[in-house]
């Protein structure tokens, strides 16, 4: 993944937070709370946890996978697996969360993914699959907030050069 693609993923993640009215520190606290986690069932070996150019750690394929392949469960009996915890957001996802009739969520490849590629989902789709209302909560704030974020990023880039 190029630095430009990683930056675009981070920017779209910030847009998602703004749309939902979420504060990043609250989301981080919820995500880093491991009290609702269970281990990955051993038969799911298509993913490994590695450092991500987008944010912290992410899940990467250990082999080539095909569109439609089940990569891993993300939620089992109401508990998150590492796939539910470490799958990062991307504006051009290569996977999606697929709800099951029993309430579980599976991470499924939405396109062919080459070995060593980070698996990304759109958190909007993932939230909807998990049964959350992901319609923008503050649509009137999205454009101005994103404009300010883009201006700040541009100023920071100018200072680095």
The phi, psi pair for 75, rounded to 5°, reads -140, 130
Average pLDDT over residues 40-58: 94
For the domain with range 3-160, which CATH number is right: 1.10.490.130, 2.170.270.10, 3.40.1080.10, 2.30.30.40?
A: 2.170.270.10
Locate 38 and state its tokens.
């269970």
Measured CA to CA in angstroms, residue 106 lies from 74, 121, 131, 145 at distances of 5, 12, 13, 33
Average pLDDT over residues 67-77: 95
DSSP category for residue 115? T
15-24, 57-66, 139-148, range with the lowest pLDDT: 139-148
Closest alpha carbon to 120 in 63, 18, 64, 47: 47
pLDDT tens string 99-144:
999 999 999 999 999 999 999 999 888 888 887 765 555 554 445 5
**Residues 123/36/72/84 CA torsion (nearest 10 deg):** 20
Matching residue, tokens 């993923």: 9
> Burial, 71: exposed, middle or buried (Cβ in 10 Å; 0-12, 13-18, 19+)?
buried
Higher-confidence residue of 2 and 141: namely 2
Query: Cβ contacts of residue 129 below 8 Å, gap of 6+?
Result: 96, 97, 98, 99, 105
Q: Which residues pair with 57 in a beta bridge?
A: 51
């Amino acid at each position: 993944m190029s630095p430009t693609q990683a930056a675009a993923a981070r920017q779209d993640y910030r847009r998602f937070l703004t749309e939902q009215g979420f504060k990043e520190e609250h989301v981080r606290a919820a995500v880093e709370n491991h009290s609702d986690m269970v281990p990955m069932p051993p038969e799911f070996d298509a993913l490994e946890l590695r450092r991500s150019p987008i944010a912290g750690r992410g899940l990467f394929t250990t082999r080539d996978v095909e569109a439609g392949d089940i990569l891993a469960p993300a939620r089992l009996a109401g508990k998150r697996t590492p796939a539910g915890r470490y799958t990062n957001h991307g504006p051009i996802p290569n996977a999606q969360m697929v709800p099951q009739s029993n309430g579980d969520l599976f991470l499924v490849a939405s396109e062919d993914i080459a070995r060593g590629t980070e698996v990304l989902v759109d958190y909007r789709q993932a939230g909807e699959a998990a049964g959350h209302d992901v319609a923008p909560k503050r649509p009137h704030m999205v454009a101005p907030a994103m404009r300010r974020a883009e201006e700040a990023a541009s100023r920071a880039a100018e200072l680095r050069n």
